[in-house]
Amino acid sequence: MKTKNLSLKIVIALVLGITVGSICNIYAQSNIVGWTDQYIFNVIGQIFLNLIFMLVVPVVFVSIVLGVVGVGDPKLLGGIGLKALTFFLSTTALAITIGIALALLFKPGAGHSDLLKSEDVNKYEQTLKEQKSAEDSAANQTFDQTLINLFPKNPIQSMTEGNMLQIITFAIFIGVGLIMVGSKAEVVNRFFLQTNEVLMYIITMIMNVFAPIGTFALVAHAFTGAGFGAIKQLGMYFFIVLLALAVHFFVVYGSAVKLLGKYSPMNFFKAFMPAITVGFSTSSSTATLPVSMNCTKKMGVRPEIASFIQPLGATINMDGTAIMQGVATIFIAQISGVDLSLGQLITVVVIAVVASIGTAGVPGVGLIMLAMVLNAVGLNAAAIGIILGIDRLLDMTRTSVNITGDAACALIVSESEQRKLNKRALPKQNANA
């Protein structure tokens, strides 16, 4: 995959999409613009997404299996998984704390209580009622049920429904089984390796041929619908979310890569830029997986670690979403005239971190998690309707932050495991000397 050329094409497509979409938004009432948006931008964009998503499940499943087999030792796999989970949960807690701190500092909701009277609030209240009535809604899931749901009753059904956590669990069991069986499973192992090669080829073809066009269509559609009108109304909220994302992206990830991964932050961001641009356009961590794993492997990340950690991170690591939740919670509290106590702020952080795992496979997960957080501190979840107009635009940026965190974790864990191997090798070298 010629990532440099691809990245440049996608950046150009992004700029054109933003420009064309913003112009179309000005004339949104025009029949021609409406027809163009519905039958050209939307159709092309959705076809591109469908092409990627049709491969997401097999790519995640095969990558996890090969990642587990590549590690080779189930005990070592557990250590790698624990390191990854610790990194993900720690950065998620830090992300939402950054969001809360900046929102408390800049007060984006001050003087905007009139927003609670908008029609958007009433509309979203109806949406929440529909979600609560659904038996399998994430909002109705208890902690014990969340743990039970990690393990699939029917792995084929899990794949059909795109339940990533269950797919990952099943793939880990298959990988461990292949390790334990050893040479007897050589044919099966070769099958997964060859399947991975086929999937990577198809993904490369889709990205090289369709990515720029699809990116343009998706971004143009998003900006035609939202434009900059919604940003004007919620300018301070929009600015603080972007600021928090930037702080987390450059400061937290940059420091982690430098201090823990022993890697140049500038080289890291530069090498990962193709994945960042794809993540921005698709707004999907899982859809970006093939590109992001390709980028990390070029950085020197061990393939088996990248294949295990990044699909896991795409499912449970939601730093960008956590930032949105932190800012949105304070924003809604301020427009509601509510001062949250320290205990309530801690509750917001804890719930957001725990929920990031439990609700990872649910569509619209960010807003569902936000509703859970708001209910926990006694705020009206229907107020989420106020930020819906610009959430699509912010979602693009948060996805780029999320996948960068996955890559940073893979790099750090790979470096940590390499240091272990080097330490083990030293006594052997000394003994042979």
Residue 101, helix vs strand vs coil: helix
Per-residue pLDDT, 362: 43
Collapsing DSSP states into helix, strand and coil, what is residue 136? coil
Question: Could you tell me the CATH number of the domain that includes residue 395?
Answer: 1.10.3860.10
Residue 432 lies in a domain: no
Domain that holds residue 210: 3-425
Mean pLDDT for 127-145 is: 59
Question: What confidence tens digit (pLDDT) does each residue in 50-107 have?
Answer: 888 888 788 889 988 988 888 777 777 888 889 999 999 999 999 999 999 999 999 9
Of 37-46, 132-141, 386-395, the one with minimum mean pLDDT is 132-141
Highest mean pLDDT pick, 72-81, 118-127, 177-186: 177-186
pLDDT at 412: 95
Look at residue 361 in the predicted model and tell me its pLDDT.
41
Give domain status of residue 430, yes or no.
no
Number of domains, the chain: 1
E strands present in 90-200: none
Query: 3-class DSSP state for residue 227?
Result: coil
Average pLDDT over residues 129-153: 65
Quick check: is 256 in a domain? yes
Is the residue at 282 inside a domain?
yes
Q: Which residues contact 142 (CB under 8 A, 6 or more apart)?
A: none
For residue 271, give both structure tokens. 């090498």
Note whether residue 79 is domain-resident.
yes
Round the average pLDDT of the chain to a whole number and report it: 83
With respect to residue 226, please indicate whether it lies within any of the assigned structural domains.
Answer: yes
Task: Tell me the pLDDT band of 37, cut-offs 50, 70 and 90.
Answer: confident
pLDDT (mean) for 124-133: 66
CA 252 – CA 248 distance, rounded (Å): 5
pLDDT in tens, 343-395: 999 988 888 787 666 555 444 567 777 888 888 888 888 888 888 777 777 88
User: Is residue 431 domain-resident?
Assistant: no
Can you tell me the distance from the alpha carbon of 352 to that of 36, in angstroms, rounded to the nearest whole number? 39
Element housing 123 (H / E):
helix 119-133
In a domain, 384, yes or no: yes
Record the pTM. Answer: 0.82
